[in-house]
A and B are shown apart, each in its own frame.
Chain A
Amino acid sequence: MKTFKIGGIHPPENKTTGDSPVVDMPVPGELRIMLSQCIGVPAKPIVKPGDKVEYGQMIAEAPAFVSAPVYSPVNGTVKKLEPTRTPQGIWQDSIVIETDMDNPVSWPAPRTQEEVNDLSPDEIIDLVGNSGIVGLGGATFPTKVKLSVPKGKSVEYVLINGAECEPCLTCDDALMRYDAHNIVKGTLLIMKATGAKSGIIGIEENKPDAIKAMKAAVSGERSLNVVTLKKKYPQGGEKQLIYALTGRTVPAGALPIETGCIVDNVATAYAIYDAIYNRRPLTERIVTVTGPEISEPGNFRVKNGTSIKDILDFAGGVPEDTGKIIAGGPMMGKAVSTLETPATKGLSGLVALPLSESLRKKEGPCIRCARCVSVCPMGLEPYLLMLQADVKKWDDMAASGVMNCLECGCCTYTCPSYRPLLDMIKLGKQELRKK
């Protein structure tokens, strides 16, 4: 079975929602839609308070190439434009929309297969860009940019990331189990847009139902393949996945396009299908809500802008003993500082940890056990990077290759001395970016 070459860990899966269906969460009365929902320039609002908006109407436009517009998930009225706190507690601009409950959404007529077949690659890329689609695996890189292959480069493989190596999360798993055919349609669109000859969908072995569903969906498509991957974190890392599926190594500091590959998440492929066939911009996504004490965990289809509190209430409420709520998975997700923060395009899951699992243990000295070195999937030396960061030797960190770090957290996870290796590495990267 295929996997990546160096490093990696096997954290407990805790995928309690692996059999749960996708449940549509009811539309809340008020949505707070963040303007910065992708890596890149925040969107610029084009509505003002009092405006009536319809489902699918653009409410904020992309002011730059690396940016993505934002669309209204409901019919309703713009109440105000005001800052809202992000999961990290930073105030950022948002649009508050009051849902018009009496005026339900009427879906636009879908495109027929013939109409889709008639779209040229450039038209597909434009439609993707004008649907606000970003990478839904968590990085939220504007998909339009990724699909626009630079001059002189060509794409051989489209790799669809269904690894979902993060513990606890099952949103991609659920999507593959229920919408395999549409993921395949999305994948074919990405291949058409980029001129790729073949597509590979990589899924980790711990999702047998998803593998079965995807294999059934690609049967008859000779250009598509489903590959079962050995379970190992961080398989879903772009460079790790490319190596696992094609045996190619992305040169340090380069983009995947150098190896003739582009990688998109299964949820992104689905969003592209939805945008092109159903003419529906990206305004909702599947969010896994789980945690040892969550009473009704599940995979919920959530409207962009729904507050995290509403989502958790839908899953049975926030448990009394909760110490930490993570937006995303426990390895790379971010701890949420306030429940008022809304769901964004990049929110893959909410994990509620009890207080006993939320606190870090006291850090001890580095005993040079070398575990961080052996688990680093990028071949870095986290112990050394932390020592360099401790004495603010930022340039030495750069020479040690810190910018290659993908922040997967294997080092901190495995350190028997509970040293905050990744914290210090992130600090070093931040200092180096300032320069």
Chain B
Amino acid sequence: MNKLIISLSPHIHAPGSIDRCMWNVVIALVPALAVALWTFGLPALWVTLISVGACLLTEWTITKFMFRRPCTLSNGSALITGILLAFNLPSILPWWMVIIGAIVAIGIGKMSFGGLGCNIWNPALVGRVFLLLSFPAAMTTWPENVDSAFNATTGASSQVDASSGATLLTHLNSGDTSLADYNLLDMMTGHMNGSLGEVGGLAILLGLIYLLVTRTITWHIPVSVIASAAFFSWAFGGNPILDIFAGGLLLGAVFMATDYVTSPMTGKGQLIFGAMIGLITIIIRRYGAYPEGMSFAILLMNSFVPLINRYCRPAIFGAKGRRNQA
């Protein structure tokens, strides 16, 4: 007989693991990736591969030469950051900008805080916003040749800047909100211009269903973001359906705001977090200088997560009133 092993209880463990959670997210991203490839063609594949490759290499280099710790690539989190960063970029972005974005995302967004679990902001969004602020023109230049019913009706050629296609949000912000301008089904199936991952609304919702069924995430954040965005869109006189399906709102609600590390710990906190993201997004879209506010909204609310955690602690069973703040 072997020597008996001694450890404290419990002696059994649930089948889940970090790797399983992360790979579930990767699987959930596949439909949206497929739509991106179908809509934008090969350039989308290059952007994704470069972004993923650069993210993995950055993480490997930092863990190996700076942290001097064992390799952490197998947990899949760098892969997710790579895919999500690519999903936030136009398909025709120059390759070296993609690499800069990846290095900032992993290097500054995640590893500078100590790696997985320690970062304050969503790494992929840190990368995206860095690129958006550094290269505003390139980051808002969309491919012209997209087979887009939306482009067909409003016409990229009618735009002032003929060299770039326009996204729906650009039109929305120029005051053009009439329903005649778009076809909802086209918007949901990738016949739309924009960043890689934000054009396939249905594919993202498919990913959401997979994440919910596998219990990778809970419903609180996606539902509160979408509901709050719809409500405030209506309250500010917009078209809720347009606001939900245009731009990166769905992508952010399902894949970015739900990042474990940078979202609150309790259901109540997550609802507040999601509702605020919806509100800030709509405010930026209506009144801000940028056509899209999702990434700023998520990063802003990421900053509030510690505060939300502090004020939305679960009630101790049997304890009266609010507990002491730790």
> Chain A residues in contact with chain B, CB under 8 A?
5-6, 9, 11-12, 88-89, 167, 239, 249-254, 318, 320-326, 328, 330-339, 351, 353, 355, 357-361, 364-371, 373-374, 376-381, 383-384, 388, 396, 399-401, 404, 407, 409, 412-414, 416-418, 420, 422-423, 426
Which residues of A have CB within 8 Å of B66? none
Nearest residue (CB) in A for B313 is A381
Q: Is the CB of A379 within 8 A of B316?
A: yes
- Interface segment out of the listed B48-56, B81-89, B115-123, B284-292: B115-123
Nearest-Cβ distance from residue B8 to partner chain A, whole angstroms: 5
Q: Is the CB of A365 within 8 A of B266?
A: no
B12, B20, B319: the one within 8 Å of A401 (CB): B319
Nearest-Cβ distance from residue A418 to partner chain B, whole angstroms: 7
Nearest-Cβ distance from residue A410 to partner chain B, whole angstroms: 8
Q: Is the CB of B13 within 8 A of A418?
A: yes
Nearest-Cβ distance from residue B305 to partner chain A, whole angstroms: 9
Q: Is the CB of B12 within 8 A of A381?
A: no
Q: Is the CB of B10 within 8 A of A422?
A: yes
Known contacts A339-B4, A364-B117, A369-B260, then 16 further A-B pairs from the complex at CB < 8 Å, ordered by chain A residue: A6-B317, A323-B2, A324-B7, A330-B11, A335-B6, A355-B2, A355-B5, A367-B116, A367-B261, A373-B314, A377-B317, A404-B317, A407-B9, A416-B17, A418-B13, A426-B8
Cα A366 to Cα B115 with chains together (Å): 11
Provide a sorted-by-A list of 23 A–B residue pairs whose CB atoms are within 8 angstroms.
A6-B317, A89-B6, A167-B12, A252-B318, A322-B2, A323-B5, A324-B7, A333-B9, A335-B11, A355-B2, A364-B117, A365-B115, A368-B117, A368-B261, A370-B266, A371-B16, A376-B314, A378-B317, A378-B318, A416-B17, A416-B20, A418-B17, A422-B8
Q: Is the CB of A239 within 8 A of B10?
A: no
Cα A318 to Cα B326 with chains together (Å): 48
Known: A367-B116, A399-B326. A320 touches B10 (CB 8 A): no
B213 close to A (CB within 8 Å)? no
Nearest residue (CB) in B for A88 is B6
B160 close to A (CB within 8 Å)? no
Q: Is the CB of A417 within 8 A of B18?
A: yes
Cα A253 to Cα B17 with chains together (Å): 34
Q: Is the CB of A373 within 8 A of B116?
A: no
Which residues of A have CB within 8 Å of B17? 361, 416-418
B5, B18, B21, B317: the one within 8 Å of A252 (CB): B317
Known: A370-B266, A416-B16, A418-B13. A379 touches B8 (CB 8 A): no
B64 close to A (CB within 8 Å)? no
Cα A320 to Cα B1 with chains together (Å): 5
Which residues of A have CB within 8 Å of B18? 364, 367, 416-417
Q: Is the CB of B316 within 8 A of A369?
A: no
Q: Is the CB of A334 within 8 A of B316?
A: no
B4, B10, B218, B266: the one within 8 Å of A332 (CB): B10
Nearest residue (CB) in B for A328 is B9
Which residues of A have CB within 8 Å of B318? 239, 249-254, 378, 404
Which residues of A have CB within 8 Å of B8? 335, 420, 422-423, 426
B side interface size, CB within 8 A: 42
> In B93-142, which residues have CB < 8 Å from any A CB?
115-118
B324 close to A (CB within 8 Å)? yes
Q: Is the CB of B1 within 8 A of A330?
A: no
Cα A377 to Cα B314 with chains together (Å): 11
Q: Is the CB of A368 within 8 A of B316?
A: no
Nearest-Cβ distance from residue A364 to partner chain B, whole angstroms: 6
Q: Is the CB of A330 within 8 A of B316?
A: no
B265 close to A (CB within 8 Å)? yes
Which residues of B have CB within 8 Å of A320? 1
Q: Kindly list the 5 A-B residue pairs having the minimum CB-CB distance in the complex, ordered from nearest.
A: A409-B10, A365-B117, A252-B319, A252-B318, A369-B260
Which residues of B have CB within 8 Å of A396? 326
B179 close to A (CB within 8 Å)? no
Q: Is the CB of B317 within 8 A of A413?
A: no
Cα A324 to Cα B4 with chains together (Å): 5
Which residues of A have CB within 8 Å of B21? 367, 369, 416
B180 close to A (CB within 8 Å)? no
Q: Is the CB of B10 within 8 A of A413?
A: yes
B177 close to A (CB within 8 Å)? no
Which residues of B have CB within 8 Å of A359? 5
Nearest residue (CB) in A for B325 is A399
Binary contact readout B282-326 vs A (1 if CB under 8 angstroms, 0 otherwise): 000000000000000000000000000000011111111001101
Nearest residue (CB) in B for A393 is B326
Nearest residue (CB) in B for A427 is B8
B5, B20, B320: the one within 8 Å of A324 (CB): B5
Nearest-Cβ distance from residue A346 to partner chain B, whole angstroms: 14
Nearest-Cβ distance from residue B322 to partner chain A, whole angstroms: 12
Cα A409 to Cα B14 with chains together (Å): 11
> In B227-267, which residues have CB < 8 Å from any A CB?
260-261, 263-267
Q: Is the CB of A249 within 8 A of B317?
A: yes
A251, A254, A324, A423: the one within 8 Å of B11 (CB): A324
Q: Is the CB of A325 within 8 A of B266?
A: no
Which residues of A have CB within 8 Å of B118? 365
Cα A420 to Cα B263 with chains together (Å): 22
Nearest-Cβ distance from residue A277 to partner chain B, whole angstroms: 36
Q: Is the CB of A380 within 8 A of B316?
A: yes
Most B CB atoms within 10 A — which of A369, A380, A383? A369
B75 close to A (CB within 8 Å)? yes
Cα A4 to Cα B5 with chains together (Å): 34
Nearest-Cβ distance from residue B318 to partner chain A, whole angstroms: 4
Which residues of A have CB within 8 Å of B317? 5-6, 239, 249, 252, 377-379, 404
Which residues of A have CB within 8 Å of B9? 326, 328, 330-335, 407, 409, 422
Q: Is the CB of B316 within 8 A of A412?
A: no
Nearest-Cβ distance from residue B270 to partner chain A, whole angstroms: 8
Nearest-Cβ distance from residue A219 to partner chain B, whole angstroms: 34
